Each structure stands twice: as structure tokens, then as C-alpha cells.
């Protein structure tokens, strides 16, 4: 499977270049569904409209976001069964829901006591869950030595993808809260709970 990376500050240039690549691919493999990885729903809509304008037809194209495309690619590379209609790993929205559920269910626990009455407001809890979802993704990608350490504490092996370990921050209440939440929600089994965990275990 060949991969072509197209980037430009001009959407018109991207669409034109992509249209030429699609035409070339279809000459070689006329029945193959072409996968196009896009960064957003808006980009997908733009390409759908403008590819049809350029070539007269926009059909048999699969628009996927990066994580979904990588999930599919790594499954095939690892020789695992893959169902394109069912997500193997939770989406970012699903991850946020898991975190929000934990926050609400553990409103009066030791881990959340330092937050006081903050979590009694659902909008505030939702906002915190969104922030934590973003932070955990950043930790998995850019501070993976933290995730490795947190996993080791649970007896799990998740290799670090960082070439150089990131220094740990001061172990204040908020850091310990983040660690405990991640361990309880995403490190509760030997199976990877997120796509990044899956990549780490398959790549190293």
C-alpha cells in the first residue's frame, strides 16, 4: 500500500494534486477504494465537493481521520482481524466520556477531595474532562516515559516512545490525581486501552 503525503497552504492546490493522485491510483487499481486521511470534517466536506468539481465524480473514496487510519494500518501490519465498522479503541469523545464518568462517580473520593466543590457543577466537570483528555493524549505522545512509569506501577509494560525521558513534575495533588485517574481508567487490564498504547506495544 503506497502512501502519498500532500500538504499546502492552498486548499485548491491540495485538491488539484489529490485529484491527480486519485486518477493515477485508479488506473492501476480501478476497483480499489482509495483511503484519504483528513484532519477535520470541514476538510472532508471541502474535498468531497471540489474533487467532484474537478473530476466530475467523487465516488469510492474513504475519508478517515488519522487515528482511525493508523488503527486500521497497524491491525493489518500486526496480522490482526479488523472490522472497519467497529472501533477497536475508543474515540477521543469516548475517552472523554470515560473520564467524565470517573469524575462524577468519584466526586467524594480521596483522589478528588482537593478539588472541593468544583466537580459538583456538571459543566465544570465536563470542562475538566475535556482538558484531561487532551493532556493524556499529549502525555502518551510527548511524555511517554510518564505513561511507562505509571504502567509499571500497575505491573504493566508499555514501552516509552520518547528517546529521552521527560523529567517528572512536582508530585502535587493535581499530578497525583492525574496519575491515579489514568491508572484506574486506562491501565486496568493487560490489553491496551488507547490507540497510542497499542502503537507503543506493537512498535517496540
- CATH 1.10.10.160 domain range(s) in the chain: 92-201
At residue 181, the pLDDT reads 93
Q: Which fold has domain 92-201?
A: Arc Repressor Mutant, subunit A (1.10.10)
Q: Is residue 36 helix, strand or coil?
A: strand
Residue 203 is predicted with a pLDDT of: 54
According to the model, what pLDDT value does residue 128 have? 94
Look at residues 111, 95, 117 and name the one whose alpha carbon lies nearest to residue 178.
111
User: Residue 200's pLDDT band (boundaries 50, 70, 90)?
Assistant: low
Grid cell locating 80: 490482526
55 φ, ψ to 5°? -100, -10
C-alpha distances out from residue 88 to 34, 68, 106, 109, 145, Å: 21, 9, 27, 31, 24
CA dihedral 102, 106, 107, 113 (to 10 degrees): -120
Q: Mean pLDDT over residues 3-7, rounded?
A: 82
Distance (Å, whole) CA 22 – CA 60: 11
pTM, two decimal places: 0.65
- Averaged confidence pLDDT in the chain: 83
Amino acid at each position: 500500500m503506497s502512501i502519498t503525503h500532500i500538504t499546502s497552504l492552498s486548499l485548491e492546490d491540495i485538491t488539484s494534486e489529490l485529484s491527480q493522485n486519485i486518477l493515477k491510483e485508479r488506473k492501476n487499481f480501478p476497483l480499489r477504494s482509495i483511503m484519504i486521511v483528513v484532519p477535520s470534517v470541514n476538510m472532508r466536506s471541502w474535498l468531497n465537493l471540489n474533487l467532484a468539481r474537478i473530476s466530475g465524480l467523487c465516488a469510492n473514496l474513504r475519508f478517515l481521520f488519522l487515528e482511525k487510519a493508523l488503527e486500521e494500518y497497524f491491525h493489518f501490519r500486526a496480522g490482526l482481524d479488523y472490522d472497519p465498522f467497529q472501533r477497536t479503541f475508543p474515540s477521543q469523545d469516548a475517552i472523554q466520556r470515560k473520564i467524565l464518568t470517573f469524575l462524577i462517580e468519584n466526586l467524594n473520593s480521596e483522589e478528588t477531595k482537593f478539588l472541593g466543590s468544583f466537580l459538583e457543577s456538571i459543566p465544570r466537570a465536563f470542562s475538566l474532562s475535556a482538558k484531561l483528555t487532551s493532556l493524556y493524549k499529549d502525555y502518551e505522545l510527548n511524555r511517554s516515559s510518564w505513561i511507562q512509569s505509571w504502567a509499571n506501577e500497575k505491573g504493566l509494560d508499555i514501552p516509552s516512545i520518547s528517546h529521552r525521558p521527560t523529567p517528572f513534575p512536582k508530585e502535587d495533588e493535581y499530578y497525583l490525581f492525574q496519575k491515579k485517574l489514568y491508572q484506574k481508567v486506562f491501565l486496568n487490564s493487560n490489553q491496551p486501552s488507547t490507540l497510542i498504547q497499542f502503537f507503543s506495544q506493537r512498535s517496540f
